[in-house]
Protein backbone atom coordinates (compact mmCIF):
# COMPACT_ATOMS: atom_id res chain seq x y z
CA UNK A 1 0.00 0.00 0.00
CA UNK A 2 2.99 2.30 -0.46
CA UNK A 3 1.29 4.01 -3.40
CA UNK A 4 -1.76 4.73 -1.25
CA UNK A 5 0.45 6.28 1.43
CA UNK A 6 1.98 8.59 -1.17
CA UNK A 7 -1.47 9.68 -2.39
CA UNK A 8 -2.62 10.35 1.16
CA UNK A 9 0.53 12.34 1.91
CA UNK A 10 0.01 14.52 -1.17
CA UNK A 11 -3.66 15.14 -0.32
CA UNK A 12 -2.84 16.02 3.30
CA UNK A 13 -0.13 18.42 2.11
CA UNK A 14 -2.63 20.22 -0.12
CA UNK A 15 -5.32 20.57 2.55
CA UNK A 16 -2.84 21.70 5.22
CA UNK A 17 -1.99 24.84 3.26
CA UNK A 18 -3.79 27.82 4.86
CA UNK A 19 -4.25 29.42 1.44
CA UNK A 20 -6.14 26.38 0.15
CA UNK A 21 -8.44 26.34 3.17
CA UNK A 22 -9.13 30.08 2.82
CA UNK A 23 -9.77 30.00 -0.92
CA UNK A 24 -11.80 26.80 -1.11
CA UNK A 25 -15.05 28.26 0.35
CA UNK A 26 -14.76 31.32 -1.91
CA UNK A 27 -14.29 29.04 -4.92
CA UNK A 28 -17.98 28.13 -4.77
CA UNK A 29 -19.05 31.76 -4.99
CA UNK A 30 -16.70 32.31 -7.92
CA UNK A 31 -17.92 29.22 -9.79
CA UNK A 32 -21.56 30.10 -9.15
CA UNK A 33 -21.10 33.66 -10.39
CA UNK A 34 -19.03 32.85 -13.48
CA UNK A 35 -21.14 29.79 -14.30
CA UNK A 36 -24.35 31.81 -14.10
CA UNK A 37 -22.95 34.42 -16.49
CA UNK A 38 -21.88 31.72 -18.95
CA UNK A 39 -25.34 30.12 -18.74
CA UNK A 40 -27.21 33.40 -19.28
CA UNK A 41 -25.01 34.23 -22.28
CA UNK A 42 -25.43 30.67 -23.58
CA UNK A 43 -21.67 30.27 -24.01
CA UNK A 44 -21.47 26.67 -22.77
CA UNK A 45 -22.43 24.04 -25.39
CA UNK A 46 -24.75 21.19 -24.43
CA UNK A 47 -23.08 18.07 -23.05
CA UNK A 48 -23.86 14.86 -21.22
CA UNK A 49 -24.04 16.84 -17.98
CA UNK A 50 -26.75 19.29 -19.07
CA UNK A 51 -29.32 16.52 -18.61
CA UNK A 52 -30.67 16.07 -15.10
CA UNK A 53 -30.80 12.33 -15.88
CA UNK A 54 -27.03 11.93 -16.17
CA UNK A 55 -25.52 9.14 -14.05
CA UNK A 56 -23.71 11.38 -11.57
CA UNK A 57 -26.78 13.51 -10.90
CA UNK A 58 -29.13 10.55 -10.44
CA UNK A 59 -26.90 8.32 -8.35
CA UNK A 60 -24.63 10.78 -6.56
CA UNK A 61 -26.00 14.34 -6.32
CA UNK A 62 -29.61 13.31 -5.69
CA UNK A 63 -28.42 11.32 -2.67
CA UNK A 64 -25.33 13.42 -1.93
CA UNK A 65 -26.00 13.70 1.80
CA UNK A 66 -26.21 9.93 2.02
CA UNK A 67 -22.85 9.51 0.24
CA UNK A 68 -21.27 12.11 2.53
CA UNK A 69 -22.47 10.38 5.70
CA UNK A 70 -21.68 6.90 4.33
CA UNK A 71 -17.98 7.72 3.95
CA UNK A 72 -17.50 10.32 6.66
CA UNK A 73 -19.07 8.35 9.53
CA UNK A 74 -16.63 5.39 9.45
CA UNK A 75 -13.73 7.81 8.97
CA UNK A 76 -14.75 9.60 12.18
CA UNK A 77 -15.28 6.30 14.02
CA UNK A 78 -11.74 5.14 13.27
CA UNK A 79 -10.00 8.50 13.67
CA UNK A 80 -11.75 9.18 17.01
CA UNK A 81 -10.66 5.81 18.36
CA UNK A 82 -7.04 6.78 17.66
CA UNK A 83 -7.32 10.01 19.66
CA UNK A 84 -9.43 10.16 22.80
CA UNK A 85 -11.93 7.39 22.22
CA UNK A 86 -15.53 7.83 23.33
CA UNK A 87 -15.31 11.52 24.22
CA UNK A 88 -14.02 12.66 20.84
CA UNK A 89 -16.28 10.21 19.01
CA UNK A 90 -19.31 11.71 20.75
CA UNK A 91 -18.25 15.21 19.74
CA UNK A 92 -17.69 14.30 16.11
CA UNK A 93 -20.93 12.34 15.81
CA UNK A 94 -22.70 15.32 17.36
CA UNK A 95 -21.17 17.53 14.67
CA UNK A 96 -22.64 15.17 12.05
CA UNK A 97 -26.01 15.40 13.78
CA UNK A 98 -25.80 19.19 13.67
CA UNK A 99 -24.80 19.07 10.00
CA UNK A 100 -27.74 16.77 9.24
CA UNK A 101 -30.08 19.20 11.03
CA UNK A 102 -28.68 22.08 8.95
CA UNK A 103 -29.20 20.04 5.76
CA UNK A 104 -32.76 19.09 6.70
CA UNK A 105 -33.85 22.57 7.81
CA UNK A 106 -32.40 24.25 4.74
CA UNK A 107 -33.82 21.80 2.20
CA UNK A 108 -37.26 21.84 3.82
CA UNK A 109 -37.16 25.65 3.92
CA UNK A 110 -36.28 25.77 0.22
CA UNK A 111 -39.28 23.54 -0.57
CA UNK A 112 -41.57 25.69 1.57
CA UNK A 113 -40.40 28.89 -0.13
CA UNK A 114 -40.96 27.38 -3.58
CA UNK A 115 -44.47 26.34 -2.58
CA UNK A 116 -45.29 29.66 -0.94
CA UNK A 117 -44.07 31.82 -3.83
CA UNK A 118 -45.14 29.61 -6.74
CA UNK A 119 -47.94 29.52 -9.26
CA UNK A 120 -49.18 26.66 -11.40
CA UNK A 121 -48.94 27.06 -15.17
CA UNK A 122 -50.21 24.80 -17.92
CA UNK A 123 -46.70 24.26 -19.34
CA UNK A 124 -43.10 25.49 -19.07
CA UNK A 125 -43.68 28.09 -21.79
CA UNK A 126 -47.28 28.95 -20.95
CA UNK A 127 -48.20 32.38 -19.57
CA UNK A 128 -51.62 31.15 -18.52
CA UNK A 129 -51.78 30.35 -14.82
CA UNK A 130 -54.33 28.13 -13.14
CA UNK A 131 -55.51 28.65 -9.56
CA UNK A 132 -56.83 25.11 -9.28
CA UNK A 133 -53.64 23.79 -7.65
CA UNK A 134 -52.12 25.42 -4.57
CA UNK A 135 -48.93 23.36 -4.23
CA UNK A 136 -46.08 22.16 -6.41
CA UNK A 137 -46.91 18.51 -5.71
CA UNK A 138 -50.56 18.72 -6.81
CA UNK A 139 -49.65 20.92 -9.79
CA UNK A 140 -47.06 18.47 -11.10
CA UNK A 141 -49.26 15.45 -10.47
CA UNK A 142 -51.79 17.06 -12.79
CA UNK A 143 -49.10 17.36 -15.48
CA UNK A 144 -48.66 21.12 -15.17
CA UNK A 145 -45.61 23.28 -14.43
CA UNK A 146 -44.95 24.99 -11.08
CA UNK A 147 -42.93 28.22 -11.01
CA UNK A 148 -41.71 29.61 -7.71
CA UNK A 149 -38.55 30.81 -5.98
CA UNK A 150 -36.58 27.62 -6.57
CA UNK A 151 -33.48 28.08 -4.39
CA UNK A 152 -30.90 25.61 -5.70
CA UNK A 153 -30.70 22.65 -3.35
CA UNK A 154 -27.83 21.30 -5.47
CA UNK A 155 -25.78 24.48 -4.97
CA UNK A 156 -26.46 24.32 -1.24
CA UNK A 157 -25.71 20.66 -0.59
CA UNK A 158 -22.65 20.43 -2.84
CA UNK A 159 -21.13 23.49 -1.15
CA UNK A 160 -22.02 22.40 2.37
CA UNK A 161 -20.96 18.76 1.96
CA UNK A 162 -17.59 19.72 0.47
CA UNK A 163 -16.80 22.12 3.32
CA UNK A 164 -17.97 19.62 5.94
CA UNK A 165 -15.62 16.98 4.53
CA UNK A 166 -12.76 19.49 4.42
CA UNK A 167 -13.20 20.24 8.14
CA UNK A 168 -13.86 16.74 9.46
CA UNK A 169 -10.98 15.09 7.58
CA UNK A 170 -8.41 17.60 8.86
CA UNK A 171 -7.21 15.17 11.62
CA UNK A 172 -5.56 13.13 8.86
CA UNK A 173 -2.61 15.51 9.20
CA UNK A 174 -2.01 13.89 12.61
CA UNK A 175 -3.24 10.40 11.81
CA UNK A 176 -0.88 9.82 8.90
CA UNK A 177 2.06 9.70 11.35
CA UNK A 178 0.22 7.92 14.18
CA UNK A 179 0.97 4.34 15.13
CA UNK A 180 -1.98 2.33 13.82
CA UNK A 181 -2.70 -1.36 13.19
CA UNK A 182 -2.18 -2.24 9.53
CA UNK A 183 -5.88 -2.86 8.87
CA UNK A 184 -6.97 0.39 10.51
CA UNK A 185 -4.33 2.30 8.54
CA UNK A 186 -5.47 0.76 5.26
CA UNK A 187 -9.16 1.42 5.89
CA UNK A 188 -8.48 4.98 7.04
CA UNK A 189 -6.37 5.72 3.96
CA UNK A 190 -9.03 4.30 1.65
CA UNK A 191 -11.76 6.34 3.31
CA UNK A 192 -9.67 9.49 3.16
CA UNK A 193 -8.94 9.08 -0.55
CA UNK A 194 -12.60 8.22 -1.21
CA UNK A 195 -13.73 11.36 0.63
CA UNK A 196 -11.36 13.47 -1.44
CA UNK A 197 -12.71 11.88 -4.62
CA UNK A 198 -16.19 12.68 -3.36
CA UNK A 199 -15.22 16.34 -2.87
CA UNK A 200 -13.85 16.42 -6.42
CA UNK A 201 -17.14 14.97 -7.67
CA UNK A 202 -19.16 17.53 -5.70
CA UNK A 203 -17.09 20.41 -7.07
CA UNK A 204 -17.44 19.14 -10.64
CA UNK A 205 -21.20 18.71 -10.28
CA UNK A 206 -21.37 22.17 -8.72
CA UNK A 207 -19.72 23.50 -11.88
CA UNK A 208 -22.29 21.64 -14.00
CA UNK A 209 -25.14 23.02 -11.90
CA UNK A 210 -23.76 26.54 -12.31
CA UNK A 211 -23.46 26.43 -16.10
CA UNK A 212 -26.53 24.36 -16.96
CA UNK A 213 -29.31 24.74 -14.37
CA UNK A 214 -31.34 27.24 -12.32
CA UNK A 215 -31.59 31.02 -12.37
CA UNK A 216 -28.54 32.97 -11.13
CA UNK A 217 -30.25 34.25 -7.97
CA UNK A 218 -31.41 30.71 -7.04
CA UNK A 219 -27.87 29.34 -7.38
CA UNK A 220 -26.36 32.24 -5.46
CA UNK A 221 -28.86 31.87 -2.60
CA UNK A 222 -28.22 28.13 -2.40
CA UNK A 223 -24.46 28.64 -2.36
CA UNK A 224 -24.68 31.34 0.31
CA UNK A 225 -26.83 29.08 2.50
CA UNK A 226 -24.20 26.33 2.20
CA UNK A 227 -21.43 28.76 3.12
CA UNK A 228 -23.41 30.15 6.07
CA UNK A 229 -24.16 26.66 7.38
CA UNK A 230 -20.43 25.94 7.39
CA UNK A 231 -19.28 29.33 8.67
CA UNK A 232 -21.75 29.64 11.56
CA UNK A 233 -20.71 26.22 12.87
CA UNK A 234 -17.00 25.70 12.15
CA UNK A 235 -15.95 29.34 12.24
CA UNK A 236 -18.20 30.56 15.05
CA UNK A 237 -20.23 28.14 17.21
CA UNK A 238 -17.66 25.32 17.35
CA UNK A 239 -15.13 27.76 18.82
CA UNK A 240 -17.43 28.20 21.85
CA UNK A 241 -17.38 26.00 24.98
CA UNK A 242 -20.90 24.55 24.61
CA UNK A 243 -20.57 23.02 21.18
CA UNK A 244 -19.33 19.84 19.46
CA UNK A 245 -15.99 21.61 19.07
CA UNK A 246 -13.57 21.43 16.17
CA UNK A 247 -11.79 18.28 14.94
CA UNK A 248 -8.43 17.74 16.76
CA UNK A 249 -6.12 19.27 14.15
CA UNK A 250 -8.42 22.24 13.54
CA UNK A 251 -8.89 22.72 17.29
CA UNK A 252 -5.14 22.95 17.87
CA UNK A 253 -4.70 25.56 15.15
CA UNK A 254 -7.64 27.68 16.28
CA UNK A 255 -6.44 27.67 19.89
CA UNK A 256 -3.01 28.92 18.77
CA UNK A 257 -4.60 31.68 16.68
CA UNK A 258 -6.80 32.84 19.56
CA UNK A 259 -4.08 32.57 22.22
Catalytic residues: 154, 214
As a whole number of angstroms, the distance between CA 176 and CA 189 comes to: 8
Whole-number Å distance between alpha carbons of 236 and 134: 40
Q: Give 74: exposed, middle or buried? Use CB within 10 Å, 0-12, 13-18, 19+.
A: middle
Amino acid sequence: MAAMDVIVEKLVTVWRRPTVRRIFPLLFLLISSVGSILKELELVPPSYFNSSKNFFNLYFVKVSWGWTLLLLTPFLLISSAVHRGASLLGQRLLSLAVATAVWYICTETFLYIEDATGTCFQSKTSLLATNEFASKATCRRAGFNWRGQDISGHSFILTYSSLLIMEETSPMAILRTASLPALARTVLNLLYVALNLLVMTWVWMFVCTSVYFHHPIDKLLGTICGLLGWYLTYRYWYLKPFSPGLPPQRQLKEQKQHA
